Structures are given as structure tokens and as C-alpha cells.
Amino acid sequence: MTTQTLLVEILVEELPPRSLKKLGEVFADTLFDTLRAAALATAQSAVTAYAAPRRLAARVTHVLAVAADRPVAQKLMPVSVGLDANGEATPALLKKLAALGLAADAVPALRRAPDGKTESLFLDRAVRGATLAEGLQTALEAALAALPVPKVMSYQLADGWRSVRFVRPAHALVALHGADVVPVAALGLNAGRQTEGHRFEARVHPLCLEQADDYAEVLRREGAVIASFAERKSEIARQLAAAARAAGAGLTPIEDEALLDEVAALTEHPNVLTGAFDPEFLAVPQECLILTRKANQKYFPLLDAEGKLTHRFLIVANLSPADPAAIIRGNERVVRPRLADARFFFEQDKKKTLEARLPALDKVVYHNRLGSQGERSRRAQAIAVALARKLGDENLERAAQEAARLAKADLLTGMVGEFPELQGVMGRYYALNDGFSVEVADAIEDHYRPRFSGDDLPRGKTGRIVALADKLETLAGLFGIGQTPTGDKDPFALRRHALGIIRILMESDLDFSLADLLAEADRCLAAVPGFKPAAALLADFIFERLAGALREKGYTAQEVDAVLGLRPQRLRDIPRRLAAARDFLKLPEAQALIAANKRVGNILKKAEGGAAEAADAVDAALLKEAAESALFAALQDIAPRADAAFEAGDHTGSLKTLAALRAPVDAFFDQVMVNVDDAALRANRLALLARLHRAMNRVADLSRLFA
């Protein structure tokens, strides 16, 4: 059967820029999947998504005009119900056939086939394949319904009577199969072949599409529109790089993928221009200048070879006039008041020290059950001091106390009030202005880190301690009053805080026990009315987040389960434990030892009283069988060496040392009965197994590695 390219486009008013890329992908993918389910798209079919500010479109290759008929075997009823003793059709069968539009002469063609324990009658027939008009109508409705739009608009159609609900008012619908219009309808529009190009730069209004395959080219040539989101984004990146080179040697545009996506969603025919502002504004911290231009004007600041901000910036315009001077002047005129505001806030903020702002934190509500920002800050300060004290460094303790005390003071500054994203960043600048050390200033900025996946950790030990204290206070406080995340709802970003603690403990030089940290947080929050100790709940929560993070890094569920099953409290050891477990599985003795370990664990669980006696409870005089004496002797030799390797941090070496236990362990289970009638003998053998179990499971719970 012959196939042709299918094109579907919906022309709308400007779509939300931050969701445009996703809208285009979902529209195209849903349309394609639905056509494929209807057998209208073939094995050779491929879909291309188009998304521009005023349009969503999809191009699907090798689409059939009519899907092939398909055979269907329909079960009617058991033979015993449909046929009598003489093999004649029963009234029940005749009624069923009549409902399907068939007469009694269809009975001989029915097929008898086993259906579980009974034999049933089946009707074999061909179902007519869907026409493209039918299939596309279904696909179009499915694609529109699937669009991830939290809020839709309601607007009236041209007839003044009917109203439609959609993300933005739609003005035209194109549906072409090759050169033919497919008669479908959506959003009160009937499909045709006309669309619109750029509002101001299109050569023709409207555009008439003759062929589905010509869509992107006609829009580009006649409509001045780059329909593909990816192509438009690539073109903007190319122009940004070229404009930066032309603006000066060593200049580069700031890297910001989200901003690049946003300007690609705001323009149909991008044109990058270069603007500048008065260099006197460079006295303001560059983070402020960068943020105000990115957030409000969608400009790309230019950085010099050392990464310092310059007074030049790049504008992504949606027009390409012969003389762009007016556009550049207009943008430069718009940016000046923004920069002036930033300078005003900065100069005003410096007139009041961070220290002087602290009393006002007691008037800012943090949480109605956890008190003010001042109370929260003092709790975090207490945790930070306690953590620094554990490390035995008085200078570190003083710096951590100072940084934690001042960490939230910049929330009361004008700059952070205008740009909340700069919290911490401005605290650093103001701390340096007030004469505090770089160590304290860096910690004030860094205590929010890591703020997202892949973000940098705090730069120094002081910053890491204050970051831990801040996150611990938040988690313990909210868990302690029952404000835990539920489902996909996490209004206080507690999952992010937990992952931050995990990364700091795993990737830095801080050697803290997680249990000690959680206990300290509970202690510092104990005075909060209605607070309940949260350490146990928090430990579960953190280990759940840790398990997910490790699986995302490529560790298997078995490896993660085996290591985290022991609940290691020193998280920085976990990567070494995982590597050791992975290496252990490569040993020829691994599976036998894993099976034996599982068996030992089951025996100990079933033993009376748990039978988890200390290692020195093994009485050598009660070792009657040669195999148990051999296992005891092997443990006496191997366990200390494995323990020494473990204590030295050589987890791989520790597990490899245990491989020598395979032969004595196998012999023990082949030749020794553990649960004998003699109570003393049974207890001694259980103690021997308990010692074996402890020796084998220091790095990971080997039983959970069982394949």
C-alpha cells in the first residue's frame, strides 16, 4: 500500500514560553503513538515535532490513507452452551450471532478451540481498517488532551455562540496527507492548508501549503519562521557565539540552558544584537546585574576571558530590520532603570550591617509551629557549633558559629527582597563589607548548597558544617511536627535537603556519623512545643533518598540493598562498600558464600533467643566435629585479617579475604548438624555461626547479593 507524509499544525496565539518545548514534544509523540496504534503509521514511519511561539505541529512520514484490515478472533461462548447434543446451534448461539448481524448459516464457519479447561466457539473475521480521517481525528483529540497545561483559557468562537477551552485561542488547523487535506476538526476549526508566518516579516499572508513535506521550508522561506524548536535554539546559540566574538576578543555569552530554551520559545525568527550599558554599574555585584537582565529582559550578559562581567550584553530579537539601531537603543534604555534599581538596593543595604539586622529576624515568621526566622537561625547555630566541636577545632567552631548566626540576615535586605534567588550570595558581599573573614562570608553564601542536582558543594569546611546544620534543622523541625512529604508534594523541598546532606557527607572530608547528626538535631529542637523526636523517621527518609540516588548512578538494586541494608552511618564509606560488593561478586567463591550466608542468617533468626552470642562465647572444648573445628580455626585466622582490612578502609580487600572461608563453610554444612538435642552443643554451634555471620557482613549484607 502506498504511503505519504502527514502534517498536522495548530496555529494559536503566543504559547507559554517555559512549557513550549514540552508541549511540542507531547503533541507530536501522542499523535504519532495513536496513529501507530491504529495501524496508520507503518514500521518505516518517523515523527518530527515542531514548536514555535504561535504553533504546534507534527510531521509523520509513511502514513497510510487506510489501515489494512486485520483478522480478529472473537470468543462467542463455550461449545457446551452454543451447540446441543446433535451439534445444532442453540437459541443462545443464534441470539449471539444475530446481535453480530449474522444468521444461522454462519454456524458451520465457527471455529472450535480450547479455552483453558473448556472448548469454546470462536468467530474469525476481518475488521475493516480505519481511514486516515477517522484515525487522525482520534489522534488529534488524544494529542490535545495530553498536553501538559495546568490552566486553560475559555474563549468564544467567531460565531459568538460556541466556546472552546484551550491553552491559547486557536486560529487555524492544517492537516495534509501528501497534497490532500484530511477532513478533521478540532477546537472549533476545520482542517485546511492555510497557515500564517511571522506577524511582521512573512513575505506572504496567509501561507498556502501545497505539500506536507514542504512545511518547514515554506515557513522558513515565505513565512520567516524556523518551525523546529531545536533548529531555532541551535541558530540562537550560533548567533550568540558569533556576536560575542564580534563584540571583543575573549568575550563569551553566559551559559544558561534554561534561558536559551526560553528565548527559543519567544522568537520565531531570532536575530542576535549587541547592546551595552554604562560601565559605572559594574560596581554592583555581578550576580545582581546578571540576574536582573536574565530574569526581566532575557538578555545574555557577556563575560571576559576571566569570567568577569562586562558592560556589553546580547539581545535575541524577533525582528531583522535593515537598521537594528532602534531596537538596540530601546533595549539599552529599558535595562538602565533595572541596573539603577540594583545599584540603589546595593548601596542602601550596605548602610546597615548584617549584625544590625539580626533582631528583626525574630519578627519574620518561619513556620507557625516552629517559630520565627530568628529562632530557626539560633537552632541552626547550635547544631553548627555542636558539629564543629565534634571535630575538635576551636577556630572552626568560632567561624561556624559566626556564619550560622549571620546566614539568614540577608533575607531582610532590599536586594534579596527584590531578587530572592540572591539569598546567600548577597549575604557574602555584605559580610565582606562588614569586615568578616572570607571563610565566614563564603560559608554564608554556601550554606544553601547544594541547591540542585549537580550543584557545587560548599567551598570550605565551615560552609559544609553550616550547610549541614541548616538542612538538619529544616528536616528535623518539619519531620518533628509531622510535616513530611506526601506523594509528589514536597512544599518545603525536604527531599532536596536530604540529598544535600547525603552529598556533603559522601563527597566531603567531614567524617560524621549520620545517627549522631540526627540525634544532635533532635536535641536542638527539643524545646519546640509539640516537637517529637524525628531521628528514626529521618534516617529512613534519608536512606530511601540515598538508595534512589545510588541506583541512578548505575549501581544495581542488589548492590544498593546489600550495602544500605546494614545502615552504615559513615556515608563517605558507602562508595567503597559498593565497589567492594561489586568486586566480590566477580569471585568464583561468591555465590557459594552468599548462599551460605543466607542460610546462616535464617538459622540464627529461628534459633531460640536469637542466639547472637558474642564471638568469645564459642567454647573450643565443645567443638566435636572436625568440620566445625576447621571452621573455627579458619575464622580465627581469616576474620582478624578481614577486620583489619575493613578498619583500614580496604573494603574490597576485606571481602576478598573472606573468600578463603568457602571450603570450611561448605564442609561445615555438609557434615555438622546445628540443631542437635544437646543444648550446650547447639548453643556453641549457633555462637560459631553468629561469629561467622558478623565476620561476613561487615562491608555488606551478603545474603542480599544473592542472584
> DSSP of 613-661, one letter per residue?
--GGG--GGG--SHHHHHHHHHHHHHHHHHHHHHHTT-HHHHHHHHGGG
pLDDT at 609: 53
Q: How far apart are CA 314 and CA 331, in angstroms?
A: 10
Which residue's entry shows cell 479455552? 115
Q: Residue 612: what pLDDT? A: 44
Strands of 136-239, DSSP E: 153-156, 163-166, 170-177, 180-181, 185-186, 189-190, 194-195, 207-208
Distance of CA 509 to the CA centre of its chain: 27
610: left (phi over 0), alpha (psi -120 to 50) or beta: left
Amino acid identity at 339: L
- Which residue, 292, 234, 284, is CA-closest to 263? 234
Model pLDDT, residue 253 = 94
**Could you give the CA distance from residue 463 to residue 448 in angstroms, rounded to a whole number?**
9
Question: Within 659-696, where are the H helices?
Answer: 662-671, 679-696
Measure the CA–CA gap between 564 and 566, rounded to whole angstroms: 5
**Which residue type occupies 249?**
A
- Tell me the β-bridge partners of 189: 186
Cell of 707: 542472584
pLDDT in the model for residue 602 = 86
* Angstrom distance (rounded) from CA 430 to CA 419: 15
Pick the CATH number of 366-554 from 2.60.40, 1.20.950, 1.10.3210, 1.10.8: 1.10.3210
Q: Rounded to whole angstroms, how far apart are CA atoms 409 and 423?
A: 9
Predicted pLDDT of residue 138:
93
Divide the 707 residues of the chain into consecutive groups of 10 and give the mean pLDDT of each group: 90 93 95 92 93 96 86 85 88 90 87 86 81 92 91 84 89 94 93 93 92 94 95 96 92 92 94 94 93 86 93 94 92 92 94 96 94 96 96 94 97 94 95 96 96 91 97 96 89 94 94 95 95 95 95 93 94 94 90 88 75 61 90 92 92 91 91 87 89 92 82
User: Is residue 174 classed as helix, strand or coil in its secondary structure?
Assistant: strand
- Which run of H or of E encompasses 271? strand 271-276
Nearest partner of 607 among 676, 672, 528, 704, judged by Cα:
676
Q: What is the pLDDT of residue 67?
A: 85
Give alpha helix (H) positions in 447-589.
461-480, 494-507, 514-525, 535-552, 557-564, 574-585
Residue that is written with C-alpha cell 501561507 in the block: 207
Helices 20-37 and 257-266 pack at an angle, to 10 degrees, of 70
State how far the Cα of 240 lies from the Cα of 224, in Å rounded to an integer. 19
Return the CATH architecture of domain 3-67+131-223.
2-Layer Sandwich (3.30)
Q: Identify the pLDDT of residue 74.
A: 83
Dihedral, 96, 98, 100, 104 alpha carbons, nearest 10: 90
pTM to 2 decimal places: 0.80
- Are 369 and 376 contacting, i.e. CB atoms less than 8 angstroms apart? no
Which residues contact residue 301 at a Cβ distance below 8 angstroms, ignoring those fewer than 6 apart?
Answer: 253, 254, 289, 290, 293, 294, 309, 310, 313
- 531/228 Cα distance (integer angstroms): 54
Reduced 3-state DSSP string for 434-449: CCCCHHHHHHHHHCCC
Vertex 368 angle, CA 431 and 430, to 5°: 5
Q: What is the pLDDT of residues 619-661, one digit of tens each?
A: 888 898 899 899 999 999 999 999 999 999 899 999 999 999 9
Beta bridge partners of 47: 60
CA distance 386 to 519: 11
C-alpha distance across the termini of the chain, in Å: 49
Sequence-separated (6 or more) residues with CB below 8 Å from residue 414: 344, 345, 348, 349
d(CA 108, CA 92): 16
Neighbours of 118 (CB within 10 A): 11
- Contacts of 474 by beta carbon, 8 Å cutoff, 6+ apart: 492, 494, 497
User: Domain coordinates of the chain in residue numbers?
Assistant: 3-67+131-223, 70-127, 229-349, 366-554, 575-705
| CATH class belonging to 575-705 | mainly alpha
Rounded Cα–Cα distance for residues 34 and 132 (Å): 11
